[in-house]
Structure 1
Amino acid sequence: MPCNSSDQQNPPTPAIAPKAITGSGLCIGCGSCVAKSARPGVRMQLDRYGQMKPTGPGTWLQSRDEEFARICPFSPGARDEDELAAEHFSRAKNRHPLLGRFEAAFVGHVEEGEYRSNGSSGGMVTWVAAELLRVGLVDCVAHVKQSDDPQSEGRLFHYSLSRNLQELQAGAKSRYYPVELSGVLQSIREAPGRYAVVGIPCFIKAVRLACADDPILKERIAFTLGLFCGHMKSARMAESFAWQMGQDIRQVKRLDYRKKTPERPANWYRAQLTLENGETRAQDWWHLVDGDWGAGFFQNPACNFCDDVVAETADIAFGDAWKEPYSSDGRGTNVVIVRSKGLLDAIHAGIDEKRIALSNVDSEFVVATQAAGFRQRREGLSFRLTWPRMGMRPRKRVHTGSHSLSRQRMAVYIMRYWISFWSHRVFSIAELLHCPGVYMLWARAALACYQGVAYSRGPIGRIAQSLGLSGSEGRS
C-alpha cells in the first residue's frame, strides 16, 4: 500500500529537541531527522561506540521542534505502530496483538533462480523487490549494500538505490550493522519516480512518519518492505569479529554475517571476512565470545524501548522461520506477513506460477518463529519500563509492569541490558589500549554469567539455580 493511502491529519505534537532523544538513549540512528533538515553541517556519523547518530550545530541539536518530534520513530510525540497500521491497513483481514494488521501469512522460499542460495534465508525479500521492478510498480528500490570502498567511506555497509536486478542482488543477505536513511531519502526527493524502501521495523516506521510530513515522499514511496528484527548492532560487533579472527577491521573488504552452507542448519550462523588481499577468514558464531545474539552484545540502547518485532507498519514483512523443521534446513526459509492487498496478489501469482513455494500459516505459527524476540520486546520491555531512568521516557504500547516475572526472567533482562551497555565501553577501553584481550576476557565472563542464568549452563548455572535465579526453561 503506497504511503499516500490516507490524508489523515496528524495530531498536535509537543516540541522535542534532537539532543533530548540522543541524550535519553532513544536514537536508533535512522537519519530521517537529518534528511529533513536544511541546516548546513547537519549529518549522520558513527559515534565513539560505532552507532549512527545525528551531529550538527548546537543550535540545531538543542532546538525544540514539533516537526522533529513527529518524524523521529522513538519520539514520545510520534504516532505509534498501531496508529500508523490503522491508517494504512484499516481493512486488513486479520489483526493480532503481536503481529498487527495483515492479510495473510506464509512460510516458504523462492524456487526460481538463485534468490534462495544468494540470500541469508529463503530469498523472499530480494524476490519481492525484484518483482516490483519487473512489473513496473516501482522504478527503484532503497536497500542496504556493501560499501565499495569501506575504508574511505568509513563503514562497511550503506543504504543505496537499485534500478535493476543486478544492482538489487548486490544487496541480498542480512547486515547486522548500523546504517542510515538520510542519503536515500534526499535522493528520492530529488528524483521523480516510484520507490520501494527495505528496512527494519523502526526504519519503516520512520519512513511512514516522514511520508506523512512530506508530500514529495508521500507521493513517491509506493511500497515498504520490512525485515523482522531482534535488535540493531553497532559497528563494534564487526570489529570484534575481525579481532577474533586475527584481523584488523581496516584490512576487511567484505563481511558476510551469515555464510550459507546448505548442509548445516540455518540457525548455525557462520561469519566470513574477505580481506583486501582476497583471502578469507571464517568462524562459527558460537565460537565467538559475543556470538550469542540473545545476550545483547553491542545492542543499540534504543532497542531496549522497541515493541515492534515484525515491522507492523510495512506493506510486507519477512523473517526467518525459526521453527522446526525449517530452522534445520540450511537452504533457508522465510516467514512472510503480507499487509498490502496489491502485494498479496503478487504473492499468489508467484505461487500459481510455481516461482515461489509458500504455504499459508496462522498467527500462532508466526509468533512461535519469533518467540524470543517477542519475550524481549513485550515481557522484557514491560519490566524495563519500571526502571528509573534519566531523560525522556518513551511512550510505548506495552504497559509498565504488566507481566509477572520469575526471578530468573528478571535476571536475564537485567543482564542483557548491562551486557549491551558495557560491551561498547569495555571494547573502547581495549581499543584505546591496543589490547583486544581485555575485551575478550570481559566478554567471556559476561557470556558465562548470562548463559548460566538463562540456560543453567556450567558452574555459574549451578550457583544461579541455588539462588533461584535459574531454572530449566531454556528460553532466550
Structure 2
Amino acid sequence: MALDRYGQFKPVGPTESLREKSAQLARMCPFSPHARNEDAIAAERFSEAPERDGRLGHYETAYVGAVREAGFRGSGSSGGMVTWVAAELLRLGLVDGVAHVAPSAGSGFFRYTISRTAEALHEGAKSRYYPVELSGVLDKIRRVPGRYAVVGVPCFIKAIHLQRETDPVLAERISYTLGLFCGHMKSARLVESFAWQMDTAVEAVERPEFRIKGPERPANWYTAHLTLRSGDTRQKDWFYLADGDWGAGFFQNSACNWCDDVLAETADIAFGDAWVEPYSSDWRGTNVVVIRDRLLRDVVGRAIADERLDLRTVDADYIANTQAAGLRQRREGLGYRLTWRRGGLRPRKRVEPSTDLPIDRKFIYRLRYGISAWSHRMFSLARHLAQPKLYLSWARMSLGLYQGLAYGRGRAGALARRLRLTDRND
C-alpha cells in the first residue's frame, strides 16, 4: 500500500502480480461485491445476540456514558471507553497486545502499532483523521505468537474478518475487534490544508491533533492543533477553516461514498461520540457503546457495578439518533447514489437504490459527492502550482453553497426553500 498523489492509500505493485491476485483480493476487500457483507459476517459471529436492529446490527446491549476510572476520559477525544476496554483486555490477560493507531516518528504522522501495556495504549488515545493501513501490523501478528485485539473503523474490522477466513494464523491470534463509528475517512491532504490555513507548511509540522478538550469549548466544537518541529504551535477551530465542515465531505476517500456500515457492525464492541444533548455540550466527552460479544458484555457490566465506568443502558433508537447524520449519508444518500449511472462495477450493498427523497436532499447529496471528488483535484492543482489560495478560494465557495443548502443559510438556503416548496407542489 502507498499514498497516491491525492494522499489516499492504494495497492501498488506490478500489474501482472495484482491481476494474478485479483480473485483473492476480491474476497478480502471490504468494498468488493464478491466479499461477504456485514450481515453475513455478523450473523455468524453474533448469532446468539438477543438484539437485532437494521442500523446497529446484532448486539447484546448498548450504553451511553464515560469512564469513571482516572486517566482515561481526560486523555481521549471522547469518554475514554476505547482505551479503557483495550487496557482492560490486557489487564485481564484476555489479549497479549492491542493493534491500534498511534503517532509515528517515521513517514506520515500516524501508523498502526501494537501496545502491550496500558501506558503504551494511552499514546494512541484521541481521534486520528489521517490515512493508515493494516499490512505491517498484520505481518507482525503473523510473526509473533499471542492473542491480539485490533482497533479500527468499520471497513478495517470487516477486512480483518475477511482475511481471517483464509488465514488460519490471523484467525487464531486475533481474539477481539474494537470498532469505531465512522463518518468517512480523510486523505493526508487534510493536515496539509490545515497547515496552509495556519500560515505554515506541512513539512514544518511535527504532530497534528484534530480535537482539543477544554472547559471553554463543548465536545462537538472541534479544534485543530499543530505542533511544529520548531516547538511552536498553531491552533484554529474547525468552523473557521475553509474545509472544516465534516459533513461537506472535503478530502473524503472515494470508497466512503459506497459504504453502508456506520457503527462497525462486525466488531465485538463498537464506540462512538454521543452527539446528542446534554452530552454534545459536555466538554469532557461522552461515548455511546454497542456491545456484541457476550464476554465483553460481562466485563463492562462488572466494571459498572464496581463504579469504574459511568454508563447507563439505552436502546437502538437512542444510539441511532446520536449518529443520525452519518446514517442518512450511508443509507438514504447511498440509496440515491446507487441510482446514478457509473462506469465499471456497480457496488452491491444492503441498501436498495432509490430516488424517493426530496429534491433539496438530492442536491445536497450531489453537492457533497462533488466536493469530496473535487477537493482532491483542486488541492492537487494548487499544490502543483504552489498556489494555496486557488484551493482555499474554491473550498470557501463550495462550503458556502453546501451550508446554504444543508442549513438554510444565505442565498443557497433561499434556493433550497424554494426547491422544497416546488417539490411539494409537484
TM-score by length of structure 1 reads: 0.87
Query: Gapped runs of 5+ residues in structure 2?
Result: none
Distance of 1:315 and 1:87 partners within structure 2? 12
The whole-number CA distance in structure 2 between the counterparts of 1:166 and 1:336 is 23
In structure 2, relative to structure 1, the CA distance for the partners of 1:87 and 1:470 (3 Å cut) is farther
1:53 to 10, 21, 24: 10
Q: What does residue 352 of structure 1 align with?
A: 305
Q: Say whether 1:164 aligns with 2:121.
A: no
What SS class does the counterpart of residue 142 from structure 1 fall into?
A: strand
Quick check: 1:454–1:470 contact (8 Å CA) kept in 2? Answer: no
1:85 aligns with 2:42: yes
Select the residue among 406, 417, 439 that pairs with 2:369. Answer: 417
**2:185 counterpart of 1:228:** no
SS in 1 for 2:99: strand
Matched, 1:428 2:380: yes
* Residue 90 of structure 2 is aligned to residue 138 of structure 1: no
Q: C-alpha deviations, 1:136-175, integer Å up to 9, x for none?
A: 00000000011124xxx1x111111111111111000001
Structure 1: distance between partners of 2:141 and 2:65: 32
Q: Distance in 1 between matches of 2:340 and 2:65?
A: 40
Q: Give, as a single letter, the amino acid of the residue that structure 1 aligns with 2:241.
A: L
Q: Indicate the SS of the match to 2:208.
A: strand
Compute the displacement of 1:469 (Å).
8.4
What does residue range 127-206 of structure 1 map to in structure 2 within 5 Å? 127-149=84-106, 153=107, 155-206=108-159
Residues 410, 120 of structure 1: CA spacing in aligned structure 2 closer, same or farther, 3 A cutoff?
same
Q: Residues 144 and 159 of structure 1 are in contact (CA less than 8 Å); yes or no, is this contact kept in structure 2?
A: yes
The aligned counterpart of 2:192 is 239
The question of whether the paired residues in 2 share the 8 Å contact of 1:76 and 1:395 is answered with: yes
Mapped to 2, the partners of 1:437 and 1:274 lie a distance apart of: 23
Cα deviation digits, residues 69-93 of structure 1 (max 9, x gap): 1111111100000000001000001
The percentage of counterpart residues that share the same residue type is 60
Q: Shift of residue 64 of structure 1? A: 5.5
Using the alignment, how far apart are the partners of 1:142 and 1:336 within structure 2?
20
Q: Paired residue for 2:82?
A: 125
After TM superposition, the score normalised by the length of structure 2 is 0.97
Q: What is the root-mean-square deviation in Å for CA atoms of aligned residues?
A: 1.2
Please state whether the residue corresponding to 2:186 is helix, strand or coil: coil
1:207-228 alpha-carbon deviations (Å, 9 max, x no partner): 0111111100000000000000
Cα distance in 2 for partners of 1:417, 1:61 equals 29
Q: What's the CA shift for 1:414?
A: 0.3
Alpha-carbon displacement from aligned partner over 1:230-266 (angstroms, at most 9, x marks no partner)? 0000001111011101110111111110011133210
Q: For 1:222, what is the secondary structure of its paired residue?
A: strand
User: 1:368, 1:193 → 2: CA distance?
Assistant: 38
* Pick aligned residue for 2:405 from 438, 443, 453: 453
Count of residue pairs brought into register by the alignment: 423
Q: Distance in 2 between matches of 1:446 and 1:106?
A: 37
Partner of 1:438: 390
Q: How does 1:306-345 map to 2 (within 5 A)?
A: 306-345=259-298
SS in 2 for 1:117: coil
- The equivalent position to 1:63 in structure 2, one of 20, 24, 49, is 20
Asked if structure 2 preserves the Cα contact closer than 8 Å seen for 1:199 and 1:226, the reply is yes
Work out whether residues 379 and 391 of structure 2, in 8 Å CA contact, stay in contact via their aligned partners in 1. yes
